[in-house]
Structure 1
Amino acid sequence: MKKIQTRMILFFTLILLTFSIIFIYMISSVIEEQSIEQQEEALITQLLTLESQLDNLDPSIEESDTLISQLASAAQVIDERITLIDLTGDVLYDSHAQAENLENHLERPEIEQIVGGAEVGTYHRRSVSTDETLYYSAAPIETADETVIGYIRLSRNAEEMVGVTDDLMTALILFLTLSILIAVLFIRYWARKITQPIENIKNIANILSFQDYSVRYHPGSYKEIDELGSSINDLAVNLNGQMSEIQEKEHKLIELVNHLVIGVMLVEKDKSINMVNPVMNELLGEDLNSKRGKSFYESLHSSELIAIIEKAYSTQRVQNKEIQIYYPEEKIMDVHVVPILNTSLETLNFIVLLYDITEIRRLEKVRTDFVANVSHELRTPITALKGFSETLLDGAMHDEEVLVEFLEIINNEAGRLDAMVNDILQLSKLEQRQVSGVKDKIIVNDTVHDVLRILSQKISLKDIHVTIKSKKDVEIEINPDHLKQIIINLVSNAVAYTPEKGKVSIEVGTSGNELKLTISDTGIGIPDDQLNRIFERFYRVDKGRSRNVGGTGLGLSIVKWLVENNEGRIEVESEIDQGTSFTVWLPLSAPDKIVNENNT
């Protein structure tokens, strides 16, 4: 802005100087011209006055001493140069030079004008004798009878004639100079009053460009500039509001992306990674945030994932594929690579979406296996029922011993089928949250004794010795049916897989704020390589023996579901032919997860 201010001052100063010079030149010319005219008129008047005062003239001007004497007297009174010239042009008298040294003046313009009939002849030129520019005024000298006997001429120095204008011009120049100085000061003030606010507006605009919207313009200049400043203030307010809104939306978007259950990665057009959410880092097992700005070729370890992204780059189309990754663990991923286009349908960047479908595929397999297992498990009792009933209908029912034997087998298979269906329905209800979630405070020992009474016949048939080791009055807040089903299934399994006259122990205690329930037996045990599968549906360590003891293969699945959905955990330890020990931990105070689940 200083350049504009300087230019404004120089421009207006130059204009003022130009007009001042032109004005001075015109005024000086007019004044000089008028002064010269006035001086010429005064010179002529003085010449005519001098001429009229000449008297007693002799007919011969060359011998008129009186005339010369009068002119000499007049020369002492006036400053003008007086020259007396005869009719032949010779100089008879000159007040500023020796007459004999002067050349003939007959051809001088002012004399020629008189000879030509003019009353007064005037002219100006540089004098040869005095080397000065002189104004000349000449008139004829006449006798009483109007006979011209010679010429009288007055001359005045030109510098003396224009000298009267010097003071006036000096005063005028001083006035104009002072006016220019005052005008320059005013222009400077005016320029600063214009440029300073504009400079402030420029600085505010620069600050706004750095996203600092707190600056404001303060009025103090001309109305138009203040209005511009007010517009800048409105712009700052609007930008501040828009930036706050953008930041809020950006924050919401970041929070949304960071809390998505799918991995999100933004890859720029130059194939560099721009943004990664935490789930993407978790799924890929590495911190991709530290690799922002690097190519996805360098950052990703899955060749299949890299190939899908590269295909999206080459085709500029959405890519979707299910891939399998092996680092940091084996997972199945559903990958989407989506190109982001601008309004001109040009690709700006790509979004890579990664969704872990490992559990979905596992559940699909579990569901498929469940259907297959259910079909297989149901086929045996149904085949038995059908086969023995057909045998009876074919005539075996007339043999009383065979009839009784077959009916007992049919009854056992029907009971086993009923138990299996009940377990399937129970597990289905548990998974669909259709069981009651009402919780009460109950004494664990009371539930243990209730279970032993229910299983007393089964225990007695195998002469199993059951021992209970328990703290008195251990209280837990839980759904009573849940706890009873857990204990029934574990004790029933312990009794079923323990040989006759074996031992089963039940230990009830606490560990911190948890119930610790341990049920051990001296049964057949479980191989180490099968411990992690015993909670699967229909899984049996010894399938033939499991059927013989009446197991459905769903009891431990029900136990695990009940324990985990009551915020607990279950562990198992076993040795072949040495027995098995199941330990259940459940919180003593009620977790909120299952409360009123049947109302949701």
Structure 2
Amino acid sequence: MFKSIRWRLILIYFLLVFLAMSVVGIYIVSQLEQIQLDMNIKNMSSRIKTIIETSNSIKADNWDDNTDRIQQNINSIQVGYNEYVYVIINDEKKTIIASSVPDTVGQSAFNANQINNYVLTKSFDGSPEHIAPPDQNQYENENENPSSYHMSFPVYSDGNIKGFIYLVNNIEHIYETVDQSKEIMTQATIIALALTVFLGLILSSGITKPIKELTFKAKQMSKGDFDQKVSVKSNDEIGQLGNMFNFLIDELKQSMSSLVQEKSKLETTFKYMADGILTVGIDGNIIHSNPVAKKLLSLHSEDEKYDDVVESIDDKLLLSKLKAKKYHGTEILEQNGETYNIDYAPFMNNQNKVGGVIIVFKNITEQYKIDKLQREFVANVSHELKTPITTIKSYTETLLEGAIEERQLAEDFLNVINSESDRMSRLVSDLLKLSRMDYEQTKWKKDKLNVTETINEISKKLQIQAKNKDIKLHVDLPYDMNICFDRDGFEQIILNIAGNAVKYTPDGGNVWLSASKNNGKISISIKDDGIGIPMEDQARVFERFYRVDKARSRELGGTGLGLSIAKQIAEAHDSTITINGELKVGTEIIITIPELI
């Protein structure tokens, strides 16, 4: 119960009032008792003085001769209930010569039950002495009334003590008054405490109710409900706390809105990134992964352990290996035919210590392929140039060594050198042409071309080559087909493709050139019944320097760039080239060009 601030406040108020009332009550009662006792002392002292002043016999110097008269004076005094007066002569025995208690007359005061020997003895020094009931515990006689107040008053004659007036006064009424005061104070304390509890409940309710409301609202906030407001009914500290809570809610809603927006941006960015993102805690748990990373690592659930996922892929990615490199580094991973560059770096937690590692899987397959193609390209160019250079150099050295003297041999060697030089020239020319097209430096002069007329003219240039191999060239073209194309570029496409068809078709074969229109497109087909192209090579025949049969291609004088040039020209004119073929059956290449309407 006392875990509640409300009851603690009530308890504090209760204890404060209880302590205050107790201290005040004790002080008031003790002061009241002391006042009553002081008044009693004054009354007793005044009464003794009155007895002395009103009795000539007591004022007489010789008490021994006036004992009867002193007794008469004492008898004439109006003595109260339980009040005793003793006249004691200052002799050796301290004899009682007169008393309101006749039985004690003639006795020694030390033997009288109602006389306190301590008080009497203390007054021997000449000063009045008195004692209250609380002080009598160690001095009173067994038969002495504990509620009596004793006073011994010395009486002088010629500067000497001639005797003592001893007065015993019952003060039960004082203690009854004190007891009643105690009861009143106790009742007042009980009433004050009851009022304190009641008022404490009301006051604490005014304090704890807003706090409870704040607690409830804060609990709702912890569940994600930020549409909370507290009612402010005062301008005190509680009211200021409520205002600050409402202000905090507004600020928090704005901050949460911004955070949600930023989180949404990040999640969307991560989700649609081409790179894989994986966040791993220092304990090896996967914290976050985007779809690319999940697909790459075959991750079904983020509850899986990171090491269990990457162990079967590449042990270089194990968390212990990354930790050994202080979570900084780069790795290359080949997975499912794809090449990935893996960069990883640590992230810090709220204690500025390493909380885990962020791993980025960047797909560099295309870049890797391009780098590989570039290396192959350089190797092929080097090889293509090295062969004619070697031939030219060897033949030239032979001529210089004396073969030039033999005319027929020298002419044969010079023809070979000339042929190899032409081959090198064609290769360099084709490379320059491809380079210009790569950097879009070629300026195309697009004109209206009639497909039938243009192809017929081109086919005439192939007649001699076809006739030498006894190849039949079949041309079947409709007349009403027009395109917008660079004439030289179109001629080079047809010559390169049709020239290859004639070149790679065995003697006595056939080559067909045809065209058709469909949906605003003109399709030009160049087909042969030659050696054909294997299915696995068809996707690569347009790569630079790629040859299906490398030995035969060089034998026939090709550079390996013809189809690449043809494809580049076609793409520059929004056209496409596709290939269909079957080994030992033949090849068909289709050029699709937008029709000029």
TM-score with structure 2 setting the length: 0.66
Query: Could you tell me which residue of structure 1 aligns to residue 171 of structure 2?
Result: 158
Query: Could you tell me which residue of structure 2 aligns to residue 423 of structure 1?
Result: 430
Counterpart amino acid of 1:133?
S
Which among 361, 364, 373 is matched to residue 363 of structure 1? 373
Q: Please state how far the C-alpha of 1:450 moved relative to its aligned partner.
A: 1.4
Counterpart amino acid of 1:314?
A
CA distance in 2 between partners of 1:393 and 1:139 (Å) = 173
Tell me the secondary structure at the aligned position of residue 290 of structure 1: coil
CA distance in 1 between partners of 2:358 and 2:553 (Å) = 53
Which among 298, 316, 319 is matched to residue 287 of structure 1? 298
Counterpart amino acid of 1:160?
H
Please say if 1:328 is aligned against 2:329: no
Please say if 1:574 is aligned against 2:582: yes
User: Which deviates more from structure 2 when the two are superposed, residues 342-351 or residues 387-396?
Assistant: 387-396
Please say if 1:13 is aligned against 2:14: yes
Which among 137, 140, 147 is matched to residue 133 of structure 1? 147
Q: Please state how far the C-alpha of 1:580 moved relative to its aligned partner.
A: 2.0
CA distance in 2 between partners of 1:319 and 1:66 (Å) = 125
Q: Is the 8 A contact 2:542 2:564 kept in 1?
A: yes
Query: Could you tell me which residue of structure 1 aligns to residue 454 of structure 2?
Result: 450
Q: Please state how far the C-alpha of 1:213 moved relative to its aligned partner.
A: 6.5
Please say if 1:301 is aligned against 2:312: yes
Q: Is the 8 A contact 1:273 1:294 kept in 2?
A: yes
Unaligned runs of 5+ in 1: 141-150, 590-600
Counterpart amino acid of 1:447?
V
- In 2 relative to 1, CA 526–139 (structure 1 residues): closer, same or farther, beyond 3 Å? closer
Identity percentage of aligned residues: 22
Counterpart amino acid of 1:11?
I
Query: Could you tell me which residue of structure 2 aligns to residue 535 of structure 1?
Result: 542
Q: Please state how far the C-alpha of 1:375 moved relative to its aligned partner.
A: 0.9
Tell me the secondary structure at the aligned position of residue 515 of structure 2: strand
Once the two structures are superposed, residues 138-167 of structure 1 have per-residue CA deviations (whole angstroms, 9 ceiling, x without a partner) of 999xxxxxxxxxx99997653334445566
Counterpart amino acid of 1:269?
I
Tell me the secondary structure at the aligned position of residue 109 of structure 1: coil
Which among 520, 523, 528 is matched to residue 521 of structure 1? 528
Q: Is the 8 A contact 1:494 1:520 kept in 2?
A: yes
CA distance in 2 between partners of 1:43 and 1:200 (Å) = 69
Once the two structures are superposed, residues 508-533 of structure 1 have per-residue CA deviations (whole angstroms, 9 ceiling, x without a partner) of 2437x866543322344345665455
- In 2 relative to 1, CA 131–480 (structure 1 residues): closer, same or farther, beyond 3 Å? farther
Unaligned runs of 5+ in 2: 57-65, 89-94, 134-139, 155-163
Q: Please state how far the C-alpha of 1:294 moved relative to its aligned partner.
A: 0.7
CA distance in 1 between partners of 2:230 and 2:514 (Å) = 84
- Counting only pairs closer than 5 Å after superposition, residues 490-505 of structure 1 correspond to structure 2 as 490-498=497-505, 499=507, 502-505=510-513
Counterpart amino acid of 1:159?
E
CA distance in 2 between partners of 1:457 and 1:122 (Å) = 159
Tell me the secondary structure at the aligned position of residue 301 of structure 2: helix
TM-score with structure 1 setting the length: 0.66
Q: Is the 8 A contact 2:17 2:192 kept in 1?
A: no
CA distance in 2 between partners of 1:212 and 1:242 (Å) = 14
CA distance in 1 between partners of 2:32 and 2:508 (Å) = 151
Q: Please state how far the C-alpha of 1:579 moved relative to its aligned partner.
A: 3.0
- Counting only pairs closer than 5 Å after superposition, residues 163-312 of structure 1 correspond to structure 2 as 163-164=176-177, 173-186=186-199, 191=204, 223=236, 262-281=275-294, 284=296, 286-288=297-299, 290=301, 293-303=304-314, 305-306=316-317, 310-312=320-322
- In 2 relative to 1, CA 431–491 (structure 1 residues): closer, same or farther, beyond 3 Å? same
Once the two structures are superposed, residues 409-462 of structure 1 have per-residue CA deviations (whole angstroms, 9 ceiling, x without a partner) of 99877766655444333222222233358989x78xx23531322332423764
Counterpart amino acid of 1:535?
F
Query: Could you tell me which residue of structure 1 aligns to residue 60 of structure 2?
Result: none
- In 2 relative to 1, CA 301–128 (structure 1 residues): closer, same or farther, beyond 3 Å? closer
Tell me the secondary structure at the aligned position of residue 288 of structure 1: coil
CA distance in 2 between partners of 1:517 and 1:297 (Å) = 56
- In 2 relative to 1, CA 82–157 (structure 1 residues): closer, same or farther, beyond 3 Å? closer
Q: Is the 8 A contact 1:110 1:138 kept in 2?
A: no
CA distance in 2 between partners of 1:255 and 1:8 (Å) = 53
CA distance in 2 between partners of 1:117 and 1:526 (Å) = 150
Q: Is the 8 A contact 1:471 1:509 kept in 2?
A: no
Q: How many residues align?
A: 554
- In 2 relative to 1, CA 342–471 (structure 1 residues): closer, same or farther, beyond 3 Å? farther
Tell me the secondary structure at the aligned position of residue 459 of structure 1: helix
Tell me the secondary structure at the aligned position of residue 507 of structure 1: strand
- In 2 relative to 1, CA 34–559 (structure 1 residues): closer, same or farther, beyond 3 Å? same
Query: Could you tell me which residue of structure 2 aligns to residue 372 of structure 1?
Result: 382
